[in-house]
Amino acid sequence: MNWNDSWVWALIALLLAGMELMLGAGSFVFLALAAAALGGAVLAAFGGSIVLQLIGVGLLAGALVPLTIKRLGRHTTPAATGYGTTGTGVEHGRYYLTHLRDFDHATVITLKGDSFRVRDLHAPHRIIAPGTEVRLDHFEGTTAIVTLEAAAVIPDMSTNDTPREPL
């Protein structure tokens, strides 16, 4: 097989697309660069000089990278998908069940496998009993600020970390 410029550009595009799959960053930058490299392969296949190929790849990358970040990237942000770093706001307003943490016996809620101490929004010095259903209002550092508005003690479920959707 004769390795001309179009095959080199196609190989670069394949490697960039593979990097997008392997890294899975979600911003689709490598995918946009792969499409630009495929544009370079098309230019090479039609006999364009190396300067024309580089200009074409540069222009395509300059147009496609911001476009993919703006159009595709917003569909993968934590607010759009319901996942992300705890505290970004996607879990606010949901109901959780409190339980005791093993090593320090603090009352906590569990989000995505991590335990967070709880504090009442309206009465910060109130001790919240384990087994109490609370609504997450926001985070202050690593403390979950909760409200007890429709709080009811639910027995035998003190380790349930599955949130309930707001009514």
Note the pLDDT of residue 127.
Answer: 87
Domain boundaries, the chain: 5-76, 86-167
C-alpha R_g of the chain = 26
- Whether this prediction's pTM lies above 0.75 is answered by no
Give CA–CA dist 12/97, Å, rounded: 51
Distance of CA 131 to the CA centre of its chain: 30
CA atoms within 13 A on the CB side of 123: 5
Beta bridge partners of 117: 108, 143
Q: Cα(47)–Cα(53) distance, rounded to whole angstroms?
A: 9
Q: Which residues pair with residue 97 across a beta bridge?
A: 133
Tally of CB atoms within 10 A around 61: 19
CATH of the structural domain 86-167, one choice from 1.10.274.10, 3.40.50.2300, 2.40.50.140, 1.10.3720.10:
2.40.50.140
Report which of residues 115 and 165 the model is more confident about.
115
pLDDT (tens digit per residue) in 94-128: 888 999 988 888 899 988 788 899 999 988 888 88
Name the token pair of 51.
């300067």
pLDDT, residue 85, reads: 61
The string of pLDDT tens digits covering residues 21-74 is 888 666 788 889 999 999 999 999 998 899 999 999 999 999 998 888 777 766
The encoded tokens of residue 87 equal 């505290």
Roughly how many angstroms between the first and final C-alpha of the chain, as a whole number? 65
